[in-house]
Each structure stands twice: as C-alpha cells, then as structure tokens.
Amino acid sequence: MEKFMGENFLLKNDTAVTLFHDYAKEMPIIDYHCHLSPQEIYENKKFKNITEAWLYGDHYKWRVMRANGISEELITGDANDYEKFLAWAKTVPMTIGNPLYNWTHLELQRFFEIDEILNEQSAPGIWEKTNSLLNGEGFGVRDLITKSKVKVVCTTDDPVDNLQYHLQLREEQDFPVVVVPGFRPDKGLEINRDGFLEWVEKLSEAANIEIVTYEDFLAALDERAQFFHSAGGVVSDHALDSIVYEEATLEEVTKIFAERLIGKKISITSEKKFKTYTLVYLGKLYSELGWTMQFHINAHRNNNTKMFKKLGPDTGYDSVNDDPIAKPLVHILDALDKENQLPKTILYSLNPNDNTIIASIINSFQDGQTPGKIQFGTAWWFNDTKDGMLEQMKALSNVGLLSRFIGMLTDSRSFLSYTRHEYFRRIVCNMIGEWVENGEVPNDLVLLGGIVQRIAYYNAKEYFQFPELVHVHEISEPLL
C-alpha cells in the first residue's frame, strides 16, 4: 500500500516519478489569476493563527463545513478561532475524495513540516505547532510567496481601485516577486445590476472624466486600463456568468446608456447590446495594450438569497451554470478577430460539459504567430480537482495542443494555496507518464520533460511577457 501522500503522491508509474521529480517539481510559479490582497502582500501580513490563515476567507472550506453540519457560528460567525479550527479539524476526515483533503495535508507538510493527519485528535498539537511557526520569523505572507518559488502574482482588481499597494510594491527593490493588478470591470458591464450608477460615479472620479455620455464612459474605462498598464497590469478578467451577443451600433448603445444614467431599468435585449458592444470595445483595448483577456464563463453565483444578504458574494453559495455558450462566444471572438483586434485570450468555463466546446473553439482563432494565443483555461473552481484537471487537459490534448497550455493558477484568497500548483504538476506528470507506459508516447525525456516544464512555467512566462521577467535568470532554459 502506498504511503499516505508520500514523495510519489499521485505518481503511479516510473515515468511520472521522473517527470515530476526531475522536471516539474522545482519550476517557479506564475500565478496569473488569484484573489490575494495586494495590501496584505505590501504589509507582509502575519497571521495570528492557522484559523486566520486557513479559514477567514476560504469559501471552499466553508462549503464542506456546512455540508458536514457545522453551524455557521463556527464558520463565518462569532465563534473564537480555536473553536473554528476544531470545527475544520472535525470536518477534514470527512472530506476524503475532495481535493481539500490533500491540499490541507500538502499545506501542513510543505509550509509547517507536519506529516500528521489532521483530525479532532491531532488538532490541539497541530494548532500549537502551526501557530508557533506563524508567529515566528519567516511566516509573513511575502515569505509564504517566496518559499513557494512564486515569481508573479496577478491579483484581481476593480478599475476604480487606486492600486496604491501595487505601486508601492513596484517601488521596492528587495522583494523579488512581481505583483501586478488584474483589470476586472464586471461592475461596468452589469448595467442592470444594483450599484451600477454608483460604480459609474466612482469610475468618473477615478478617471477624472465627467461621464455624461457612453463615449465618456468608454474613455474613462480606457483611462483606467492605461493606469493599470502603467502599474504593470497585463491581464484583464471578466465573469461572464452568461455569455450574450447582440449586434449593436454605437448610436443604439449610447441611447441605452443615457436611459440607464437617468435611472431607467433597460430591457434584456438592450442589456445584451450594451454588454456586447462594451465587451468588444474592451477586447480591442486589451489587444492594443498587448494584454491577455480572460473570460470566466457559466458560473451561477450567489444562489442562496438569505446567505447572500448576510455574507455577500464569494462565500460558498455558487454553483455550475448550464447556459449555452458556443454561439455567443464565437460571435464575440470573431467580432474582434475580423478587425484583427483579438487579444491573447484565456477561456474558462465552470461547466465541464463545455470542455470540448472551448477546446475546439480556441483553434478557430489561433493566429499562427503566438503559440497557444487562444487558451483553454485550467480547470476552474468546482473543476479544480484531480478529475476536473484531467478532463480539461484531455479535452485540450484531444483537439488541441496540451504542450502549449499555460497551466495552473490558484484562483485563491489564501496564501497557503500554492501547493495547488504541485498537486496539478503531479497530475500532469502522471497523465503523461501513463501515455508512455501504455506505449502511446515515446519515453523521450527531453520532449516530455520539456513539455512538462513548459506547462509548469515557461509557457506562461512566454505567453504573458511580463516585462519584469524578461531578464530574470532561470534555473534552466526551456528544453523545447
């Protein structure tokens, strides 16, 4: 029987072991989409205890605790941190089969050198050891990032954000990690959502542009994108819970915007016209800036009205949506491509039924210049599991090029989540190793090791073209 999460965890054949330990393991990390706080990075936050580090913001854990019958008091409520930790320790054994079980123990092993299984019995000792380390030297969030060999962190930021912490971090010479903002203008597209008008006001103030017309609105978005660019921003991100496409003229959308600005709710068709025109405008802007455009598609968010009112978004009450995506997505990409203004694009869907749809769509728009210009994004959120990752990569390799995949991201709010990259790399190496053991792929370690290192790091480095990385010395140059 295999040792529990030993050095060959998830590596079921000799080729997988070689690929992981000799090629993937030591590669740096580019975390190109996450929800970490730039302020906490700037301030090098130290966690007062493991509960703050693990449970204050991680709705993945909150969901399974609720499913385990833990009261909200012990999740997001007023219980004390030790009571919340015990509630998590009580839940962990019940999470077998969920990646949280392995992530939890990977994090204990890699950050705290704890090999024990976390449960109610071991909880008191693990509480003491983790807190002792967290309160000691070397456990500020910057240490957690550098210890994980992270070279780039792309956060997720609203266009009206002043990016003060990103700008202050850029002034520093001794922190080796690139921390750049991600331009996430969702609030500017949700024209019918409460808060839209207030957000337009904030946009006007941030851009120092009076917004009277739709063209003023676009000019303000443009100004903020230029500002993000000046702060090192190279990625944008859109939560397209439903993808819509409705042809519209500038005149039509100008009228729609004007109606909304005077407080009118607009029709669904007008909303679709506004979203289509604005998203295509932004896509052209991203293309001019050389940015990457990310679409996070088919999430069904904030399902629980009662808990949304109490806790707000991203609190564990979301699910997979099943809207059709193929036609509107192709129309949006084609609207940009036919103007030669389709930016580098990463497409993620929360619905794994969309995997082959996306994997096939991306190759309708490759440009024959940038390898993997249009990407099928890594398995996202509820698919961020061993099965979900394998399904995404198999769909990609079946109809596209796994070798040009830019690989994993944490998408996390926790500074301890970097072990998800190791989890992913083990799965990639085992998948390729199985192909070799089955005789489907030659045991050519230069080819396979080169592809593994590309998926782990080099593809993302070459894809995003972070200026700060161009002259960084690498532990080894790409084999391919």
Ligand X SMILES: O=C(O)[C@@H](O)[C@H](O)[C@H](O)C(=O)CO
| Minimum distance, C-beta of residue 314 to ligand X, in the bound complex (Å) | 4
| Count of residues engaged in binding ligand X, rule: CB under 6 A | 6
Least spacing, CB of residue 214 vs ligand X, in Å: 26
Question: Can you name the residues that pair with 294 across neighbouring β-strands?
Answer: 237, 346
- Least Å distance, CB 339 to ligand X, is 28
Indicate whether 25 belongs to the interface with ligand X (CB under 6 A): no
- In the bound state with ligand X, the residue whose beta carbon lies nearer, of 239 and 330, is 239
CB of 377 to ligand X, least distance (A): 11
CB of 239 to ligand X, least distance (A): 5
B/e letters for 193-215, b = 16+ CB within 10 Å, e = fewer, are eeebeebbeebbebbebebeebe
Check residue 435 for interaction with ligand X (CB under 6 A): no
193 binds ligand X (CB under 6 A): no
Using the minimum distance from each CB to ligand X, give the nearer residue, 112 or 464: 464
Interface positions, 378-407, toward ligand X (CB under 6 A): 381
Task: Write down the least CB distance from residue 259 to ligand X, Å.
Answer: 29
Cβ closer to ligand X: 337 or 354?
354
35 binds ligand X (CB under 6 A): yes
Using the rule CB under 6 A, which residue among 17, 219, 239, 390 binds ligand X? 239
Give yes or no for a contact between 190 and 158, defined as CB atoms under 8 angstroms apart: no
Residue among 158 and 411 whose Cβ is closer to ligand X: 411
Nearer to ligand X, 34 or 460 (CB): 34
Q: Give dist(CA 344, CA 300) in Å, integer.
A: 26
CB of 59 or CB of 426, closer to ligand X: 59
Site residues for ligand X, 289-328, by CB under 6 A, read 296, 314
Pick 182 or 400: Cβ nearer ligand X:
182
Binding residues (CB under 6 A) for ligand X: these are: 35, 239, 296, 314, 381, 411
